[in-house]
Amino acid sequence: MKAEEDHILISALNQFDYCSRRCYLIYCEGQFLQNEHTVEGSILHARTDIPVEVRRGDTRQFRSVWLYSEKYRLHGRADVIEEKDGKIYPVEIKKGRRGDWKNDQLQLCAQALCLEEMLGCGEIETGYIYYAATGRRQEVKLDSRIRQQTIQTIEKVRQLLSKCEKPPSIYGPRCRGCSLYPVCLPRETAKLIKLQ
Ligand code: SF4
């Protein structure tokens, strides 16, 4: 990893927790393919990708905010940062339905870690994930457990990207929704290995 690449993207944490091989393919090999899920996600984010400040009642929304942390050597963009009653917190927008997706929660927590450092504020206790399919928000408590998992994931991603060793392809339920299936070919690779 070059010095200027030492800072990792917040979104890499999400990709890594989804699948370490996918993270490798995107950030080490520069592979990216679209499928229906990634296209839907891009369409959904088209509105929040424009930096703007919006007021909604007693809440101020800042869209498409760049975040960074020198402490964790992270950077990336938050979909939405909100401020209400003197409290500030991140809101991550996802296209699907509410679920216990740790990868989305890690991404949200990493945004909070950046915000805390940038603003010099205390711990941000809560963030939200907005699910477009239902129009509902999931509250995520940014407790010590998720913070620890996020910090551990940051280190795992840094190691993966610095070594650039391709993780093995292991077919699982997540492969069905993965846009990189055509370049990864986990089932086909497993069959080939059996034949050898
Ligand atoms: S196809 Fe499966 S193993 Fe390959 S990158 Fe995608 S999720 Fe990972």
State how beta strands 52-56 and 8-9 pair.
Answer: unpaired
**Residue extents of the structural domains in the chain:** 3-167
The confidence score (pLDDT) of residue 45 equals: 76
Which residue's C-alpha comes closest to atom 2 of ligand 1?
175
pLDDT digits (tens, 9 = 90+) for 69-108: 999 999 999 999 999 999 999 999 988 777 667 899 999 9
In the chain, what percentage of residues exceed pLDDT 90? 73
Phi, psi (degrees; rounded to nearest 5) at 99? -160, 175
User: Which pTM value belongs to this model?
Assistant: 0.90
Residue 39 pLDDT exceeds 90? no
Q: Tell me the best of 26, 35, 180 to mutate to test the pocket of ligand 1, counting ligand atoms within 8 Å of each CB and taking the most.
A: 180
- In this structure, the residues whose C-beta lies within 6 A of any atom of ligand 1 are 19, 21-22, 25, 169-170, 174-175, 178, 180-181, 184, 186
Max CA separation in the chain (angstroms): 65
Show Cβ contacts of residue 128 under 8 Å, excluding neighbours closer than 6 positions: 82, 89, 90, 91, 92, 108, 137, 138, 139, 140
In CATH, which of 3.10.350.10, 3.90.320.10, 3.40.250.10, 3.30.365.10 is domain 3-167? Answer: 3.90.320.10
Report residue 4's pLDDT band, with 50, 70 and 90 as the boundaries.
very low
pLDDT digits (tens, 9 = 90+) for 130-147: 998 888 999 999 999 999
Measuring CA to CA, how many Å separate 149 from each of 13, 85, 142, 143, 152? Answer: 11, 29, 11, 10, 5
Compute the distance from residue 89 Cα to the ligand 1 centre, in Å: 32
Compute the distance from residue 174 Cα to the ligand 1 centre, in Å: 7
Both tokens assigned to 140? 């995520």
Compute the distance from residue 32 Cα to the ligand 1 centre, in Å: 12
